[in-house]
Amino acid sequence: MRGDSGATRRRLIEAAIAEFAAFGIAGARVDRIAAAAKSNKAQIYQYFGNKDRLFDAAFNALVVTAVHEAPIDPLDLPEYAGRLFDGYETRPELLRMATWYRLERGGATPPPQPVVDNIRDKLDAVAAAQARGDLPRDDDPVTILGLVLHLAQLWSSASPELAVFVPRLSRAQRRAALVDAVRRVLTY
Which domains, from first to last, does the chain contain? 1-51 (1.10.10.60), 70-185 (1.10.357.10)
Alpha helices in the chain (DSSP H): 5-27, 30-36, 41-48, 51-69, 77-90, 92-105, 113-132, 141-152, 160-163, 171-185
- Give pLDDT, residue 67: 86
Confidence of residue 1 (pLDDT cuts 50, 70, 90): very low
How far apart (Å, rounded) are the C-alpha atoms in residues 138 and 167?
36
How far apart (Å, rounded) are the C-alpha atoms in residues 176 and 174?
6
Mean pLDDT of 53-79: 92
- Give pLDDT, residue 188: 53
**Amino acid at the residue 101:** Y
How far apart (Å, rounded) are the C-alpha atoms in residues 58 and 14?
7
The angle subtended at Cα 118 by Cα 113 and Cα 119, nearest 5°, is 100
Cα separation values, 55 from 26, 72, 142, 183, 184, Å: 10, 25, 27, 35, 37
Mean pLDDT of 14-30: 96
Positive or negative CA dihedral for 78, 84, 86, 89? negative
- Name the residue with higher pLDDT: 64 or 182: 182
- Give pLDDT, residue 109: 78
pLDDT above 90 coverage of the chain, percent: 68
Residue 168: alpha-carbon gap to chain centroid? 25
Contacts of 73 (CB under 8 A, 6+ apart): 79, 80
How far apart (Å, rounded) are the C-alpha atoms in residues 42 and 39?
8
Mean pLDDT of 102-113: 81
Q: What is the pLDDT of residues 120-167, one digit of tens each?
A: 999 999 999 999 999 988 899 999 999 999 999 999 888 889 888 888
- List the one residue out of 144, 149, 35 whose CA is nearest residue 88: 149
- Give pLDDT, residue 114: 79
- Name the residue with higher pLDDT: 67 or 1: 67
How far apart (Å, rounded) are the C-alpha atoms in residues 173 and 65?
25
Asked whether the predicted pLDDT for residue 52 surpasses 80, the reply is: yes
